Amino acid sequence: MKNTILTFIYTGCLFSLLTVSCEKLIEVDLPANQIASGTVFADAQTAEAALAGVYAGVWGNSPLAGDKIGLLLSLYTDDLDFYSPTSTNGMPEVYNNGLIPSNPVVYSQWTAAYQQVYACNAVIEGCEQSETLVAADRKRISGEALLIRSILLFNLQQIFGDIPYPVSTDYHLNQAISRKASAEVLQLLEGHFKESADALEDSYRNSERIYLNKKAAQLMLAKVYMQEQRLAEAETLLKIIVGNNMYVIQNDVTKTFKKTGTNIIWQLKPANNGDATKEAIAYYFDYMPPYNYALSSDFMTSLSANDLRRAAWTKAVTVGGNTWYRPYKYRNLTGNTDEYSVVFRIEEVYLLLAETLAQQNKVSEALPYLNATRVRAALPPVAAPITKSEVLNEILLEDRREFFTETGHRFFDLKRMDRLDLLLTKKPNWKAHHRVWPIPEKELLLNPNLKPQNTGY
């Protein structure tokens, strides 16, 4: 990877990342207003500040940020349409499935993710090497950093396939690191999700659920099991999460994305009080598609007139006789006091559990979990008798209606269910090899050990 990040803590407890080239690491004195990393992890207060910096980085510039992969993969699949074919920012190629290794969007998503992976590694190493940090604090802080790192690497594996798996801040190792096969990445993630689950508690250390807990780790572990077709193990974990009384589906769809929702497992807090979520800004327009994208007509057709989500989560904008629809899950553009960016919510667990059960031929047992979000949206419940194939089709449709434009769901769901071929009839340039993105050209030039390039690119 191109970049190594040296981490410091400002005396005002603001976390920053200083990026330097791996090709020439220059030693410099610490600025007068910064504290060396050895001091950072001397006690819980400063170690917490370092971890808070990681969370801020995830919200500000990572694939999990509200205006990143959720938007990009919605364009890449079939939930968003694009209206500026002459743009030079790399977005037309995302929408038209014409990505090449030099595309700036590909490069930015790769580097943003690995910068945050490095930041997590810095926190983990700082906790491990500290001689004064209390054991309980060390376990929890490193556990949260490990979980963030693992979530990022899981998403990278889903998007790029075989990927580097850095677990150190040693730039000598990182600048020559090789890619690991997807199956090996999943094995490593399994171990690390288990480790983070063991390190964390169910209870939240903040009532707003802006920090990760054990249940988030168990959700990610279940996702790994589903990728590995270990369905019974995934079912067990998902049922544990559903059975926890901390999580309840919001019956009112207008409250699904309110920060106090009992449906939320993890959400990202905006940088400043009153700031809008990144989703609210990215998807807003009142005259024509902003940055030239809007919800696709194909997606809007999937939402019936009776579906409460159509009125609550989409917004019609009519100009000059033309009507576009924009995502309206997040509404506050100014003075935001009740919306954070939701990353995980219990509705996902319900639909994953329905899918896991159906895949094991437990069709009747799957129906209540599928119907939970349907009934809440005023759709009729799916009833037996129904075949396994039919219920899996209904789950995929419900996934789309429930999670459009959220954190890459459409792409990840299609890929997990081996249904990406559905895009052949909707995306003229779609090819089988588009199930993964190309490795950024700049990274291959800097580190030949990342070769070979993904097939088709």
Q: Which of 445 and 5 is assigned the larger pLDDT?
A: 445
Q: What is the pLDDT of residues 408-427, one digit of tens each?
A: 999 999 999 999 999 999 99
Which residues on neighbouring strands pair with residue 324, listed in sequence order?
317
Q: Taking the domains of the chain in order of start, what are their residue ranges?
A: 1-200+431-451
What's residue 37's pLDDT?
55
What's residue 39's pLDDT?
67
Q: Express as a percent the part of the chain with pLDDT over 90.
A: 87
Chain mean pLDDT for the chain: 91
- For the segment 344-357, the average pLDDT, to the nearest whole number, is 98
What's residue 40's pLDDT?
81
* Coil, helix or strand at residue 246: coil
Distance in angstroms (rounded) separating the CA atoms of residues 103 and 182 = 23
Distance in angstroms (rounded) separating the CA atoms of residues 360 and 391 = 12
Omega before 438 within 30 of 0, i.e. cis: no
Q: How many CB atoms lie within 10 A of CB 292?
A: 17
Q: How many CB atoms lie within 10 A of CB 260?
A: 12
17-21, 153-157, 238-242, 438-442: range with lowest mean pLDDT: 17-21
As its CATH architecture, domain 1-200+431-451 has Alpha Horseshoe (1.25)
**Segment (H or E) for 294:** strand 293-295
* pLDDT at 79 > cutoff 70: yes
DSSP-derived letter for residue 166 is: -
What's residue 439's pLDDT?
98
Residues whose CB falls within 8 Å of the CB of residue 55, separated by 6 or more in sequence, listed in order: 148, 210, 211, 268, 269
Distance in angstroms (rounded) separating the CA atoms of residues 457 and 440 = 10
Q: What is the pLDDT of residues 253-276, one digit of tens each?
A: 999 999 999 999 999 999 999 999
Q: Locate all alpha helices (DSSP H) within 243-345, ordered by sequence.
A: 278-282, 297-302, 308-313
Number of H helices and E strands in the chain, helices first, is 18, 9
- Which of 150, 54, 65 minimizes the C-alpha distance to 109? 65
Q: Please report which confidence band the pLDDT of residue 290 belongs to, taking 50, 70 and 90 as the band edges.
A: low
Q: What is the pLDDT of residues 24-70, one digit of tens each?
A: 322 333 333 334 455 689 899 999 999 999 999 999 999 999 999 99
Q: How far is CA 83 from CA 92, 225, 282, 404, in A?
A: 9, 38, 15, 19
